[in-house]
Amino acid sequence: HFHRTDNLTLMEQTMRERPTVLTNHGYQMICPAEDFYMELGRRVCEKSHVSKSCYLHTCFGKCMSWRPNAARKQYARASWGVKNINSFSAIIYPSHRSHRRFEGLISDPGKHFVLPYFCPIKPLDTVPIKTHEIKTITFLGRIREYKGYRDFIKLLSLLENVRGLMVGDFTE
């Protein structure tokens, strides 16, 4: 299972050896900018996926990194994704909007699933739910300044009868 990686060699090797699922966080597998957004002009790119003009466009539209090495890496990842998207055993998308960007690339629609924001559509009625007198608010993901972990801690200090749980990697 891959959520996100730039290590295409690892992904290729894994896909050769065993069924591999991609949980598609965004558009990084088909768009070098990862979000179909162009800084210059502050507009959404209307392309459905990466093309040869994307790499040239970075010089003028500023949609990818302005650093040439990073831009090459982003372009290589997206080009690889377009070429290999149908080699995954399954791809899970967080929204129908995300799935629509991939539709023109999909050869087997039975391997592509929309699971809204990666949450089950139906409640898990058979799983017993533990209840606690003190509610827990969870911060899940990379614990970075730009993700707002300090705001999370400050919020917890303002609430009564609530505990916080932070789960993720911290490198600052």
Tens digits of per-residue pLDDT, 75-87?
888 888 888 888 8
- Which range, of 66-75, 78-87, 132-141, 143-152, averages the lowest pLDDT? 66-75
- Opening angle at CA 7, ends 25 and 48, nearest 5: 45
Note whether 75 and 64 are within 8 A (CB): yes
62-79 per-position pLDDT tens digit: 565 566 677 777 788 888
DSSP string for the chain? -BS--S-HHHHHHHHHHS--EEE--SSTTT-TTSSSEETTTTEE---SS--HHHHHHHHHH--S-SSHHHHHHHHHHHHHHHHHGGGSSEEEESSHHHHHHHGGG-S-GGGEEE-GGG--SS--TTSPPP--SSEEEEEES-B-GGGTHHHHHHHHHH-SSEEEEEES-B--
Show the tokens assigned to 46: 């209307």
The pTM assigned to this predicted structure is: 0.59
Cα–Cα distance, 26 to 116 (Å, whole number): 13
Give the count of beta carbons closer than 10 Å to the beta carbon of residue 22: 24
